[in-house]
Structure 1
Amino acid sequence: MAIRAVHVPESADAAVARLAGGGWVMGGGTVVMPLVNSGAAPVTELVSLRRAGLGGVEVRDGAARIGAAATFTEVGAHPGLAFLRPALRTIASPTLRNQATVGGNLFVAQPYGDLAVCLLALEATCEIAGPDRRRDAPVADVLASGIGAGEVVVAVRVALPEPGTWHYHKAMRRRLNSAAIVTVASVTGVDGGVVASTRIALGGVAPRPVRAVSAERLMLGRPLTHEALTEAGEAARGDADPFDDAYASAWYRTRVLPVHLRRAFLP
């Protein structure tokens, strides 16, 4: 289908109002525009968030509010989010990071949504504007079910992890600028030599980012040893729903998952 109009509203409410007439939301366009250019987009109108005032990053009192239209480059440049820089550098190329937005990555199919994997591990909350009201929703719910018709993600809020608790590892075909075979992001606290709390999110091993709840249960109360992490990685296979693509087979993703989960904690 041919695109007949691109609307550029100047507020979130205006974007929601415009969506009432149909069309697709477009953030940076790194996902939408390839579909448009190939003729695969089943819409004739786009609603761009470029001027809707949804950019920006605020960090204060141990928490961050990241505008849905903030780019990966903008997030990585903020000193308060320095812990995310190694993860962001593994995503696509600098050119794409200048365009790709935080909100858009929530709706990207695996194995490309690596920032969404991080947000899941951080237990982020999405601020959502809709035709009738504004609401908050856990990022886990948005990743699992999407958002309602006519709604727009306005921002994402996260609590910053305590020093030493953030872990990230991504296995890919190239050192940089490649989709994930397996991505692991975790916020894990250790007290008295054993794991006191842990959240582990996986990417590349299911159609959407998933929590490795089986691995989390096995790790609690145990030290971060090679043995414990290997067992946790094997348990995490039960949380995965792997797939075949040009980067790896479902069998391979399942096979190497324990190795890469362990490497997230013991490089």
Structure 2
Amino acid sequence: MQAISYRRAADVNAAIQAAQQPGAAFIGGGTNLLDLMKGGVAQPVTLIDITRIDALNRVDALPDGGLRIGALVRNSDAANHALVRARYPLLTQALLSGASAQLRNMATVGGNLMQRTRCGYFYDTAFVQCNKRSPGSGCAALDGHNRMHAILGASAQCVAVNPSDMSVALAALDATVQVSGPRGARSIPFAQFHRLPGDRPDLDTTLQAGELITSVDLPPSAFSEHAHYLKVRDRASYAFALVSVAAALQMDGRRVQTARIALGGVAHRPWRAEAAEQHLAGRTLSAATLREAASAALADARPLDGNAFKIPLAQRAIVRSVMLAAGQTGDFA
């Protein structure tokens, strides 16, 4: 087994400084990183423990009415925080859909953003063909077992999907990721944080070397009354989404003023369904309108041999989640 050194950072600056050495990795809850290390997928030389940085373990109201959630806030604490529940119920629902209660009690908000894609070929080093692990080696999933894989935004290099439920809600809510690094602090709009695979599927995010997530900022919410997170999976708990939908609406009676829709389980990053949002804006909800919006959201889908079922599944999930967000109980599917 490869020797690993361990360092505990007292503050953000100390963590960033320690991360400048080759092979360094930050560790918080460790719920994903330790799995990757056990399987030989991740091989850090130094682990930098950031769990004692109190400044990252806070939830604070922002002056503009938004909310700042520190990177070390546990998923369970974020989901159950009074301000999150009141202002961002979509985020609470998504967080409580993820993993198990035990994992939510350990996993952190920052770590959740950094989850690697959950492709079996990526996690099993016996499969040598994995461009995410070994760029240029190929993608075994393209002609292999790809039921769980991407139907949107994939490339010939990688068809894996982002596994995070939390991130789907954050995409719909237009969150911002705050990071600090050797070049200072910067803000990353959530839509620009996760990458599509392109020709570099080994890079899941746009973080630069040595950068540390410090918080996730949420803008003032107009969607506290009409929001729903729907997760379709093979079993009721501790399973990744086949398809998930985060839907948030501003309503005027039955008319949609503004819609925010993001999909999970379909792409290498949380997928913002802007075509569906535009189709719904300013229109009265009806079965025809919902079906048209769902069809627009999947217009560019390119399924693989094993996952064509995801297209109609995603369309029906969009219809159902928007209907539930609007508080309607009719059958529009």
Alignment of 1:23-172 (within 5 A): 23-53=24-54, 54-59=56-61, 62-82=65-85, 83=89, 84-108=91-115, 109=117, 110-144=161-195, 145-162=205-222, 163-172=224-233
Bigger Rg, which one: 2
Q: Report what 1:10 is aligned to.
A: 10
Q: How many residues align?
A: 263
Q: Report what 1:266 is aligned to.
A: 323
Matched position secondary structure for 1:40: coil
How far is the alpha carbon of 1:229 from its aligned partner? 1.3
Alignment of 1:231-250 (within 5 A): 231-238=292-299, 240=301, 249-250=306-307
Supply the distance in 2 between the matched residues of 1:3 and 1:219 (Cα, whole angstroms): 55
Please tell me the residue identity of whatever aligns with 1:130: G
Alignment of 1:214-229 (within 5 A): 214-229=275-290
**Contact 1:230–1:258, Cα closer than 8 Å, also in 2:** yes
Segments of 5+ residues of structure 1 without an aligned counterpart are none
How far is the alpha carbon of 1:69 from its aligned partner? 1.2
CA RMSD of aligned residues (A): 2.0
Residues 69-78 or 37-46, more deviating: 37-46
Segments of 5+ residues of structure 2 without an aligned counterpart are 118-160, 196-204, 325-333
Q: Deviations over 1:172-201 (max 9, x none)?
A: 111222111111113221236322212211
Supply the distance in 1 between the matched residues of 2:106 and 2:46 (Cα, whole angstroms): 20
Matched position secondary structure for 2:298: helix
**Contact 1:195–1:224, Cα closer than 8 Å, also in 2:** yes
Q: Report what 2:131 is aligned to.
A: none
Please tell me the residue identity of whatever aligns with 1:200: I
Alignment CA distance shift 1:3-1:55 (3 Å) = farther
Match of 1:200 among 233, 249, 261: 261
Q: Deviations over 1:68-117 (max 9, x none)?
A: 11111110221111113332221110110011111112222245211011
Taking structure 1 as the reference length, the TM-score comes to 0.91
Alignment CA distance shift 1:121-1:193 (3 Å) = same
Identity of aligned residues (%): 34
**Contact 1:125–1:158, Cα closer than 8 Å, also in 2:** yes
Matched position secondary structure for 1:104: helix
**Contact 1:188–1:195, Cα closer than 8 Å, also in 2:** yes
**Contact 1:211–1:239, Cα closer than 8 Å, also in 2:** no
**Contact 1:71–1:97, Cα closer than 8 Å, also in 2:** yes
1:19 matched to 2:19? The reply is: yes
Supply the distance in 2 between the matched residues of 1:147 and 1:241 (Cα, whole angstroms): 28
Taking structure 2 as the reference length, the TM-score comes to 0.74
Please tell me the residue identity of whatever aligns with 1:12: V
Residues 164-173 or 114-123, more deviating: 164-173
